[in-house]
Amino acid sequence: MPPVVDIKKCKGAAACIEVCPTNVIDIVKGKAVIARPDDCIECRACENVCPNHAISFP
């Protein structure tokens, strides 16, 4: 299951994009978006690196 982005917490830091090994996340209108959820390998790198704790896994 792909991560979920809390858009209220997301500040568009893009750290998640830099660490994602499968290029799942895009920044759209200043917020992270899970653009390719089927490609997520659930490594949790994005969750661990987000400085605003805006990404979590259900």
Closest CA to 3 of 31, 25, 23, 29: 25
Q: Which CATH architecture has domain 4-56?
A: 2-Layer Sandwich (3.30)
Indicate the pLDDT class of residue 4, thresholds 50, 70 and 90.
very high
Q: pLDDT tens, 18-42?
A: 999 999 999 999 999 999 999 999 9
CA 24 to chain centre: 8
CA 55 to chain centre: 6
pLDDT of res. 9: 98
11's tokens: 């500040």
- DSSP for residue 38: G
Indicate the pLDDT class of residue 8, thresholds 50, 70 and 90.
very high
pTM for this model (two decimals):
0.91
